[in-house]
């Protein structure tokens, strides 16, 4: 093939979006959740739950939009377990997250066998959200930016909207201020009469919704079936994306884009046989890049002050 | 008072647990006595972490067991491994539980298989896709390998011919003379498929470019799709995959972009009937059954590795289904001739990238 420069073309950038979308959505969820003070490492588990229910619903009803809704809601409801565990029962956030990850994989396997009689992978859904790709008239004609941002599939559009929406909410609305306060100084928030519990519950639920959506993307928009383990660690990459993004929606978005870019790049490097090394080197390239970025940026990035701290109103009143 | 109630409850619970354990263990002792007169042979199988439902590998082995049940009356058991640390406990557990023959499915289980075989000398063990060294291995374990390169070679011949010389047969084919291979993890069976494919393509179409991408996973559809899309962007019109469930994503990409895909392990045409041209098959069902049969007939080939190939009906390519009329007769003739030559030992196919001269 021609040299390394041939790899840097429009397709690479479109691929970046395609690969980063599930990470963006999960990372956005992590941002909201952790800003409110709840550590969430269960995004991987919530994603796989979202993937599963989206595919199952799309299969059962033939309607991928219902599948999208189902994936969303399944993720949200599943995340409530984390909410109850960490907020009401005051359990360790990391432990709860880890347990949820294991539970999610167990549930999806169990239900796979229950619904389909076998584990592994489901049949193909009759209609995928990929078929609903929409080129926004006018905007999609803009050179370079057009095909990348304005000629996409539904959940990708949702991810763009959510990035902007969350950034706006966090910075400019009262609710956003409450969320940030819940993660920085919950007592101050409680003092002005806002229930920290309610804010945190909402934050966890929202993170469940976005992670569920991320999972739905994998099974009914990017592909046409559910496969056990199809998230393949993306939930954990989202965690890193959130951290290196400084716990902001825009930062999470950019970090996710970076990982997607690195992943898209390594595939194309393999094709042109950039260097004669074992293919495993290419495969770990995006992960190594992420580690370097997180290690490099984490000093600048400040976590919410009360992140992971349990908030018990009775204790504070003494 | 409360404290006493608590301790009473705990004690009763413990008592109930102990009693039920005693009760259930008593039950177990009775059963074998009744069965001793006509004990059916138990054959066990431990899957790798992919598990059943992969529509190829593990399912194939399980179907071999079911064939054994149907024809030889054995009692099959399947245990699924969730992670690699489960392998040894699963295999040993099956042996300890009275299974006369225990299958390990998958290259990744090689070490576990040998360890279980050493610890359970009274049971037979067989490893699918596992090499058993005759010099060092115990006599109760056998390796089953396949000549995946033969199936890959035939698929390569088909792809090499269709992508250029006979490209006019279908609008899905272009004149770029590029084909692609999507790989899962780079383990020997996968390498053999790829290398065989490469040689098959080059044998009939030396100028064809064969692009290869390794995804590193057998369960990540998104990565499979990405690899295939990148290849199609570079002009590939036939995408072969040796990537398990990751390959479903590759087939999906081929379907979306209106090109052809070639499946692997089993006939994957049902996955996407208008996209999957053929599949490079691996006769796991057949070879599993034959191994069980050899054990039942007291001619188990322990301490060796048996390689199943075209002469044991264990390699080849799947039927063309709806593409049967599209594929020119000349192509089918060449393929049939290739098969005949393979059976006669006239074709030497390399099994590693280095041997095949792949850069």
Cα of first residue to Cα of last residue in chain A, in angstroms, is 71
B292 and B216 within one domain: no
Enumerate residues 297 to 316 of chain B having a beta carbon within 8 A of any beta carbon in chain A.
none
What average pLDDT does this structure show over A91-117?
Answer: 93
pLDDT at A206 over 90: yes
Contact B151, B281 (CB under 8 A): yes
Does residue B12 form part of some domain? no
* Whether B186 and A228 lie within 8 Å, measured CB to CB: no
The residue behind tokens 């404290």 is B3
Angle CA B260–B265–B270, to nearest 5: 50
Question: Which range is least confidently modeled, A100-109, A289-298, B175-184, B265-274?
Answer: A289-298
Render pLDDT for A152-184 as a digit per residue (tens, 0 to 9).
999 999 999 999 999 999 999 999 999 999 999
B297 and B204 within one domain: no
B217 and B141 within one domain: no
Residue B145, H or E segment: strand B141-146
Total Cβ atoms within 10 A of residue B8: 10
CB of B105 less than 8 A from some CB of A: no
Task: Give the length of chain B.
Answer: 359
The total number of structural domains in chain B stands at: 2
What ipTM does the predicted assembly reach?
Answer: 0.91
* Whether B252 and A276 lie within 8 Å, measured CB to CB: no
| Percent of chain A that is helix, strand, coil (3-state, to 5) | 75, 0, 25
Domain boundaries, position B224: 148-282+328-356
B230 and B332 within one domain: yes
Is the torsion defined by CA of B177, B181, B182, B185 positive or negative? negative
Total Cβ atoms within 10 A of residue A287: 17
Q: Which pLDDT band holds residue B113 (cuts at 50, 70, 90)?
A: very high
The DSSP letter of residue B173 is -
The DSSP letter of residue B305 is E
pLDDT at B25 over 80: no
| B276-282 β-sheet, strand order | B209-214, B178-183, B236-242, B260-265, B276-282, B315-317
Render pLDDT for B205-260 as a digit per residue (tens, 0 to 9).
999 999 999 999 989 999 999 999 999 999 999 999 999 899 999 999 999 999 99
- What pLDDT score does B107 carry? 84
B180 and B118 within one domain: no
Instruction: Judge if pTM exceeds 0.90.
Output: no
pLDDT at A318 over 60: no
B243 and B191 within one domain: yes
**A-to-B residue pairs, Cβ atoms closer than 8 angstroms:** 105
- What pLDDT score does B36 carry? 43
B340 and B213 within one domain: yes
- What pLDDT score does B242 carry? 95
B189 and B142 within one domain: no
B248 and B158 within one domain: yes
Instruction: Quote the percentage of chain B above a pLDDT of 90.
Output: 56
- What pLDDT score does B16 carry? 78
Total Cβ atoms within 10 A of residue A39: 21
Give long-range contacts, CB 8 A cutoff, 24+ apart: B334-341: B334/B157, B334/B161, B334/B204, B335/B154, B335/B157, B335/B158, B338/B153, B338/B154, B338/B157, B338/B200, B339/B154, B339/B310
B267 and B339 within one domain: yes
A4-301: CATH topology: ABC transporter involved in vitamin B12 uptake, BtuC (1.10.3470)
B165 and B298 within one domain: no
* Residues in a beta bridge with B183: B214, B242
Q: Which pLDDT band holds residue B35 (cuts at 50, 70, 90)?
A: very low
Question: For position B234, which CATH number holds?
Answer: 3.40.50.2300
d(CA B78, CA B90): 10
The residue behind tokens 């539980």 is B97
Does residue B305 form part of some domain? yes
Angle CA A202–A205–A206, to nearest 5: 85
A23 exposure class (CB count in 10 Å sphere: 0-12, 13-18, 19+)? buried
Task: Give the length of chain A.
Answer: 318
Render pLDDT for A145-154 as a digit per residue (tens, 0 to 9).
888 999 999 9
B298-316 burial, b at 16+ Cβ within 10 Å, e below that, comes to: eebbbbebbebbbeeebbb
Domain ranges of chain A: 4-301
B341 and B306 within one domain: no
User: CA of A283 to nearest chain B CA: how many angstroms apart?
Assistant: 6
* Whether A120 and B221 lie within 8 Å, measured CB to CB: no
Is the torsion defined by CA of B272, B276, B278, B281 positive or negative? negative
Does residue B7 form part of some domain? no
Angle CA A234–B52–A71, to nearest 5: 40
B41 exposure class (CB count in 10 Å sphere: 0-12, 13-18, 19+)? middle
Pairing of strands B42-46, B101-105: parallel
Render pLDDT for A32-70 as a digit per residue (tens, 0 to 9).
999 999 999 999 999 999 999 999 999 999 999 999 999
Instruction: Give chain B positions within 8 Å (CB) of A261.
Output: none
Contact B267, B63 (CB under 8 A): no
Instruction: Give chain B positions within 8 Å (CB) of A282.
Output: 214
Enumerate residues 167 to 186 of chain B having a beta carbon within 8 A of any beta carbon in chain A.
183, 186
Instruction: Give chain B positions within 8 Å (CB) of A283.
Output: 214-216
The DSSP letter of residue B38 is G
Indicate the SS3 state at residue B306: strand
The residue behind tokens 């199609």 is B232
User: CA of B309 to nearest chain A CA: how many angstroms apart?
Assistant: 27
Does residue B17 form part of some domain? no
């Amino acid at each position: 093939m021609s040299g390394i420069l041939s790899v840097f073309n429009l397709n690479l950038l479109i691929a970046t979006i395609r690969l980063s979308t599930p990470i963006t959505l999960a990372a956005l969820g992590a941002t909201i959740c952790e800003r409110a003070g709840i550590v969430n490492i269960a995004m991987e588990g919530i994603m796989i739950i979202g993937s599963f229910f989206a595919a199952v619903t799309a299969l059962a009803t033939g309607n991928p939009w219902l599948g999208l809704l189902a994936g969303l809601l399944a993720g949200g409801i599943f995340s409530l377990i984390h909410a109850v565990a960490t907020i009401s029962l005051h359990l360790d956030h990391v432990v709860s997250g880890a347990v949820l990850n294991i539970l999610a994989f167990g549930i999806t396997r169990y239900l796979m066998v229950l619904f389909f009689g076998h584990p592994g992978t489901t049949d193909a859904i009759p209609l995928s959200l990929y078929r609903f790709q929409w080129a926004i008239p006018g905007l999609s004609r803009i050179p370079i930016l057009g095909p990348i941002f304005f000629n996409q599939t539904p959940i990708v559009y949702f991810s763009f909207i959510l990035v902007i929406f969350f950034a706006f909410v966090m910075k400019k609305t009262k609710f956003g201020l409450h969320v940030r306060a819940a993660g920085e100084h919950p007592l101050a928030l409680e003092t002005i009469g806002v229930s920290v519990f309610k804010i945190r519950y909402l934050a966890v639920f929202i993170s469940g919704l976005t992670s569920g959506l991320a999972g739905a993307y994998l099974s009914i928009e990017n592909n046409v079936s559910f496969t056990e383990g199809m998230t393949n660690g993306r939930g954990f990459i989202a965690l890193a994306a959130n951290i290196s993004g400084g716990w902001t929606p825009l930062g999470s978005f950019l970090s996710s884009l970076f990982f997607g870019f690195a992943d898209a790049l390594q595939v194309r490097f393999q094709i042109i046989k950039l260097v004669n090394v074992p293919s495993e080197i290419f495969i770990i390239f995006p992960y190594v890049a992420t580690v370097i970025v997180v290690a490099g940026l984490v000093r600048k990035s400040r976590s919410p002050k009360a992140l992971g701290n349990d908030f018990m109103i009775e204790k504070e009143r003494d | 008072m409360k404290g006493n109630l608590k301790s009473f409850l705990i004690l009763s619970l413990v008592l109930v647990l102990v009693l039920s354990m005693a009760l259930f263990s008593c039950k177990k002792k009775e059963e074998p006595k009744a069965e001793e007169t006509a004990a059916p042979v138990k054959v066990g199988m431990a899957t790798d972490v992919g598990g059943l439902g992969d529509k190829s590998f593990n399912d194939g082995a399980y179907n071999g067991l079911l064939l054994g049940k149907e024809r030889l009356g054995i009692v099959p058991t399947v245990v699924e491994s969730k992670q690699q640390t489960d392998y040894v406990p699963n295999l040993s557990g099956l042996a300890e539980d009275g299974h006369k023959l225990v299958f390990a499915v998958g290259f990744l289980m090689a070490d576990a298989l040998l360890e279980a075989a050493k610890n359970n000398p009274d049971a037979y063990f067989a490893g699918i896709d596992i090499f058993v060294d005759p010099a060092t291995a115990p006599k109760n374990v056998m390796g089953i390998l396949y000549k995946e390169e033969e199936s890959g070679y035939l698929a390569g011949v088909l792809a090499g011919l269709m992508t250029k010389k006979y490209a006019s047969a279908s609008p899905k084919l272009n004149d770029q003379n590029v084909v692609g291979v999507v790989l899962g993890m780079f383990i020997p069976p996968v390498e053999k498929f790829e290398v065989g494919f490469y040689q098959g393509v080059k044998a009939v179409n030396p100028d064809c470019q064969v692009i290869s991408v390794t995804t590193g996973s057998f369960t990540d559809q998104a990565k499979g799709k990405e690899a295939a899309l990148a290849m199609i962007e570079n002009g590939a019109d036939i995408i072969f995959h040796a990537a398990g469930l990751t390959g479903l994503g590759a087939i999906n990409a081929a379907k979306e972009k209106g090109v052809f895909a070639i499946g692997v392990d089993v006939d994957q045409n049902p996955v996407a009937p208008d996209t999957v041209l053929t599949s490079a098959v691996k006769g796991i069902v057949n070879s599993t059954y034959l191994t069980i049969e050899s054990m039942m007939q007291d001619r188990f080939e322990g301490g060796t590795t048996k390689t199943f190939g075209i002469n044991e009906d264990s390699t080849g390519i799947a039927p063309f289904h709806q593409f049967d009329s599209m594929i020119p007769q000349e192509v089918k003739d060449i393929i049939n001739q290739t098969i005949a030559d393979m059976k006669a030992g006239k074709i030497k196919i390399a099994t590693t990238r280095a041997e095949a001269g792949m850069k």
